[in-house]
Structure 1
């Protein structure tokens, strides 16, 4: 059980020197260990076998349903002349923020709500830029980790937290992305594997790796599905309901008309790897380096009492940019790209090229 001295989380990492402290910190190791344990919990498990969850996890599904209802009751405004984010997202964001304290009532101690709800709020995208990236996805993971540290969730819930709660979150995010045309975060994308997400591919490869491959060799993967199977439309159609990796590929293909090689070269390259176990292991290293190890993401990470900042952070002089974001004075280059050139939404591009395409339904 965590301390009862709760602190609303704030940004603390603004420079490369501070980032180095974070990478050696207890909080960094806790987050990565949590992601690893969630990965191990779903090896060989299908999405369709998630079940209904427990009395501890079912309230989280209800919370995500409430967010979806808010989105459905906040339709996009007429924005046909723009391929960028829809302004109605800002209204949606405000409504989630207003509802958040009530959504957390009864789930966690009242005094912890101001801290925990910040991670929850920041999981849906950035209000000012109307964008979304792997940093927001990380905030959702931190929200779940806070619930574990508060004793709301237990290790026996980990399997459903991925296959039930996280996957429901991804489905809600797909609705938000397609409804509000959320832009990819940063002019260099999200430092991830597609326009928005990383973990569905990491954990998705975990689903498909062999149950014994952590201890033995990496040859005991799924009996029939291989990494190259992502290029087979019939396999995607048959198995995307079971495996989040295949579902994510199918979703990308539904939005982008060019070949995977053209619009997702990294995923195309990864399909040449022989086993899911090697892909899963490689993605774990990539997540540590490209998400938890990159300043454009971690400069927006939040630290409070449940996920404390590194000890003895070097002091720096900070400035606030035109977007209201704090940076180390003199910061240039990719560290500023989170606030840089807007990137058109893939949905906006798709609808511009295929006028009959509509926002995806939620199922």
Structure 2
């Protein structure tokens, strides 16, 4: 996978383009949409059957991005929550976020070789937007999407290459996932636009997609297995899907079928391959086709808001893109 960006490429500061429901049709035909979905599916395929601890090539860029995330984690420790009356939305998050915003340029310059510096003013916007909203002190799938767009852009400029795909998921994205969980717990962040029990999770979506791909053809773990405490305890550090279940069990109380109904329904699906393809369809329908999420997406020169010239994404795929249908799983005997 080679960079598609020439040396004289003109970078721009990303901005919002989806301002009405009419713009949503353009979004789904756009180059940004094709590139983003192609990126998700290429990495989905790359990690099929691979645990988080598996051996994969690690480049200087991967190491640099991990160091960047470690620095952000350190800033959480240096910015403890404030004493305040309200339960949710600790205002210390605004101090942490201000550090992120102010330090984004330096963070990316430390993580990337100098030849990629011209791209930083464009891609740093996705980094800043990837950890939540400082005004509302919330976090959701739109923020997750922004960080994923940063990773996608790093492939587009040639910083990440074909051989980095597994490390980007199993190391960089997984490190990001642990970091945003720490943010959520430390600063009691509200879920942004949560669907409640009818969504997969209050905060994340993509780790369920890539995490279910990791579990395809696993000799022991079936979809129904993630309801078993011993499986969660044994495998949460190896598979992102199981790690997500562990986190939900940590922060929620009551019956799993009630507080995480969609996931309970998924436990009734008979194979991880079906779970994975169903989650991709659900993501397209419940996240990528929803105006309240896409109105916040930022478009620049790397992920442009223009009609794609072809359906071929930058990332070569051996699998067909799942067509968009309405999302959701129905398990026999599911509570209504």
Q: Same fold (TM over 0.5)?
A: yes
From the superposition, tell whether residues 264 and 187 of structure 1 become closer, same or farther in structure 2 (CA, over 3 Å).
Answer: closer
**1:189 Cα deviation after fit:** 5.2
Q: Does 1:236 align with 2:232?
A: yes
Q: Secondary structure in 1 aligned to 2:253?
A: coil
Does 1:85 pair with 2:81? no
| SS of match in other structure, 2:61 | coil
Tell me the equivalent position of 1:68: 73
Query: 1:295 maps to which residue?
Result: 291
- The CA distance in 1 between the partners of 2:142 and 2:298, in whole Å, is 10
- Corresponding residue of 2:322: none
Question: Is 1:258–2:254 an aligned residue pair?
Answer: yes
Q: What SS does the corresponding residue of 2:130 show, helix, strand or coil?
A: coil
Q: CA deviation at 1:193?
A: 1.3
Matches within 5 A, 1:220-235: 221-235=217-231
Structure 1 segments unaligned to the other structure (5+ residues)? 210-220, 313-363
Q: 2:271 matched to which residue of 1? A: 275
Q: Deviations over 1:222-277 (max 9, x none)?
A: 11111111111011111111111111101100111212111110100111000000
Q: Deviations over 1:67-114 (max 9, x none)?
A: 1111111111012x3222101101100001111111111516333221
The answer to whether the Cα contact below 8 Å between 1:38 and 1:159 also exists between their aligned partners in 2 is: yes
Deviations 1:276-316, CA, capped at 9 Å, x for gaps:
0000000111111111111010000000111111359xxxx
**What residue in structure 1 maps to residue 5 of structure 2?**
2
Contact 2:127 2:146 in 1 (8 A): yes
- Which deviations, in whole Å up to 9, do the C-alpha atoms of 1:148-195 show, x marking residues without a partner? 111100011000100000000000011100000110002645984101
Structure 2, unpaired ranges of 5+: 309-336
In the aligned structure 2, how far is the partner of 1:188 from the partner of 1:63?
A: 31
RMSD of aligned C-alpha atoms?
1.7
Match of 2:191 in 1: 184
- The residue that corresponds to 1:37 in the other structure is 42
1:196-227 deviations in Å (ceiling 9; x for gaps): 00011111100011xxxxxxxxxxx2111111
1:125-154 CA-partner distances (Å, limit 9, x unpaired): 011110000000000110011111111000
- TM-score normalised according to structure 2 size: 0.86
1:324-335 correspondence to structure 2 within 5 Å:
none
Taking the aligned partners of 2:86 and 2:132, their CA distance within structure 1 comes to: 19
2:103 is the counterpart of 1:99: yes
Match for residue 166 of structure 2 among 156, 159, 164? 159
- Relative to structure 1, is the Cα distance of residues 256 and 93 closer, same or farther in structure 2, using a 3 angstrom cutoff? same
| Paired positions, count | 300
